[in-house]
Structure 1
Amino acid sequence: MLRSMYAGISGMKVNQTKLDVTGNNIANVSTTGFKSSRVRFKDMLSQNMGEAVGPGRSQGGVNGKQVGLGVQVAGIDTVMSQGMMQPTSRNLDVAMDGTGYFIVAKGALPESNAGGIAVSESEHTMSGGAFQVNYTRDGSFTLDHQGNLLTSDGYRVMGYAINEKDDKGNATGDVSIDYNANGAVNFVNADGEFGLKASNTLVPLRIPDSVHMKNSELKSPKIMNYVGSGKLNNDDGSDLLNNQPQIKIEEPTTGVYRGKESLKIEVKFMEKHQFINPEDKKLTDVDAAGYRVFVNGKEYGAIGCKVVIDKSGKIKGEDEFDGTTDNVANVITVGEQAVMPDADKSKYKWEFTLQPECDKKLRSFAIEKDGLVKGVLDDGTVTALGQIATASFKNQEGLKKEGKNLYSNTANSGVPTVRSGLGTPKDLDNGDGYGEMLQGMLEMSNVDLAEQFTDMIVTTRAFQASGKMISTGDEILQDIINLKR
């Protein structure tokens, strides 16, 4: 009799566990990206009452006799089936339609891309970086006042910084994200000639109010030749002979120009036999507004900011006389039959810096299916702000729930496999199989209420039946005791 009572106890215990799991599933029916759990049972050790006997000449075989000693929990599984999509029309909501997970982290911000989490392009594994990394299906992201892309609990969303690539697929530079309070993401033209390439490290992503153009690379033609439309006069104010535009800014129109380099420009007085006073003749400042800038051979648009950095926002040059003139009052004197021999060598040398450095306001942004975050600036230019990274696991049921809709990998889930970034060579690209990111959507819980209520009814009855077994055993024991009066 005691065996049945203890079997009833084991039945109550396991069904209590199943009720706990069912209750948690029902409680999280509205939790974003929640994955339901299920409980499986298995029988405990059975006690042999008789051994099995094989068939013989005189009689047939006899099966063994066993009495079970109860039930125990076989496992609690996480059901990783896809949840339904809920439209939210919020641009910071992203649903993962597939088996991928968003990579989120806490930790000190890196000073540059090199301080991020390195991703092996061939193995697609992560290494390095001073971050506590977790994974989530909850794409209800937020922004703080610095533009950091975060989960609702402040975990930073990790992703790739984006560079422009050349015709050979190599990155043309190393675009870094500025994490200062007022820092802006550097400008990367999303409509470049050769496309985009992701960095090989994961860093916290930002969607700032503005985009900085300091490190953008200007290629041919970077500056159009400028011919002055004004006129030069003699010292007495009279017109020069053959008065045509005579001041020309020459070179450069080819090659690669980077932001902090200097550009030497010669201003030559082309005509001889004219009175020119180099102390008085200067180029008028040229306003940058309206000039065109080309990025990777394609027109970027009219400049609405400073091309040359100075407080007034105009192109300015400090004149440096580089030529020979008459030492008296620096005037080139011309007689009826006398021409100064070196007058044609007289020239001014202008040197200024072309730094397309300005902040463009971010009008809106969009997250594409591959995680690429594109921003639309106030002048209509489209810029790449980064690419949201995702990871997958060989055994996603082996992930450990950490609370806050977060998971961590375990020994049985395996290490995460990170999705390749943009511009990865085809033979190394593992982009298939992770799923697509759907902006303006959230993945709902995959809890099926009808199934959970049915399980709850069955489990409750099983719990009651196990308890009844104990009370029934008690009644039988009472009857046995009452045999002796």
Structure 2
Amino acid sequence: MLRSMYSGVSGMKGFQTKLDVIGNNISNVNTIGYKKSTINFQDLLSQNLSSSGVNPMQVGLGSTTSAINVNHNPGSFMTTGVGTDLAINGDGFFVVQNPSAPGTTGQYLTRAGNFVVEADGDLVTAQGYNVLNSAGGKISIPANIVSFSINRLGQVMGKDASGVESALATIGIAQPENPAGLSKFGGSLYELNTKADSRTVLQLLALPKNTEVASGMLEMSNVDLTEEFTEMIIAQRGFQANSRTITTSDEILQEVVNLKR
């Protein structure tokens, strides 16, 4: 009876975590570049009651969370018409640099391409992080450039007062070996670690194969509300069922206590 009670407690904790994941997904349904998370469970250690039979006699002790994974499927694109709004059509991440962090320690990955040009000409994120080019340097628009655009190849093309157009930089794209292993840093940023890539330094590329940069567009969240609400119902019923297990175990314990009056 006590085993069933503790199993119910573990189940309630698991489904509470599932509700936490679902709630975070729903709260970010309109967050630019957000990737939803999913949760998986596994059973806990089983207790051996006897090994005298042909098959082992075991009773499980509940469940626990095995993994919370990030789903990196692409989200839908939203047209903004703003030239510095960028979306990656394919694999890869933009690479941004915290200007106050030395070296490569302040580099992060992101799929949120809502960039702006500061007064000094630097292309930055909403948090003020510099957008890096394929050589690992910041992208800056010179003062003599009157207009610029970003093409599908990720090239920043500038035009001077005389109408001469030239390539100023190429948007840097990083492709970690295991995107699901990236750590969420906050602000729609990801931090590189050894689980995501065996290389300790970000490898910036020009445009990878089968990947394009869409200017004037943003990639929205890949959260599907229909799926999330369905998972919420499952989590709610699972939580309710485990609470019923605890209630039933309590009623049986009460009957045992009442055997001696």
TM-score, normalising length from structure 1?
0.51
The amino acid that maps onto 2:168 is L
**Contact in 2 for aligned 1:108/1:130 (Cα 8 Å):** no
**Contact in 2 for aligned 1:107/1:130 (Cα 8 Å):** no
2:80 aligned with 1:106? no
**Contact in 2 for aligned 1:107/1:131 (Cα 8 Å):** no
Counterpart for residue 480 of structure 1: 256
Secondary structure, aligned partner of 1:411: coil
Distance change (3 Å), C-alpha of 1:452 and 1:6: same
CA distance in 1, matches of 2:99, 2:30: 30
Moved beyond 6 Å, runs of 4+:
none
Measure how far apart 1:46 and its partner are. 0.6
Matches within 5 A, 1:81-480: 81-107=73-99, 129=103, 132-160=106-134, 201-208=135-142, 210-211=143-144, 361-362=145-146, 364-414=147-197, 415=199, 416-420=202-206, 431-433=208-210, 435-480=211-256
**Contact in 2 for aligned 1:6/1:69 (Cα 8 Å):** yes
Which of 57, 68, 72 aligns to 1:65? It is 57
- The structure showing larger relative contact order (alpha-carbon pairs under 8 Å, at least 6 residues apart) is 2
Distance change (3 Å), C-alpha of 1:129 and 1:479: closer
Counterpart for residue 179 of structure 1: none
Q: Deviations over 1:55-113 (max 9, x none)?
A: xxxxxxx322211100000100000111111111111100011111111002369xxxx
Secondary structure, aligned partner of 1:81: coil
Counterpart for residue 29 of structure 2: 29
The unaligned stretches of length 5 or more in structure 1 are 54-61, 110-127, 161-200, 212-360, 422-430
Asked which structure has the greater CA Rg, the reply is: 1
Measure how far apart 1:459 and its partner are. 0.3
Counterpart for residue 180 of structure 1: none
Measure how far apart 1:418 and its partner are. 2.2
**Contact in 1 for aligned 2:21/2:38 (Cα 8 Å):** yes
Measured on the aligned residues, the alpha-carbon RMSD in Å equals: 1.8
Q: Deviations over 1:423-477 (max 9, x none)?
A: xxxxxxxx325x2110011001011111100000000111111111111111111
**Contact in 2 for aligned 1:4/1:470 (Cα 8 Å):** yes
Distance change (3 Å), C-alpha of 1:130 and 1:417: closer
CA distance in 2, matches of 1:52, 1:146: 79
Distance change (3 Å), C-alpha of 1:466 and 1:108: closer
Q: Deviations over 1:8-53 (max 9, x none)?
A: 0000001000000000000000000100000000000111123265
Measure how far apart 1:203 and its partner are. 1.2
CA distance in 2, matches of 1:65, 1:46: 9
Distance change (3 Å), C-alpha of 1:52 and 1:398: farther
The answer to which structure has the higher helix fraction is 2
Identity rate, percent:
43
CA distance in 1, matches of 2:37, 2:103: 33
Q: Deviations over 1:203-235 (max 9, x none)?
A: 111124x32xxxxxxxxxxxxxxxxxxxxxxxx
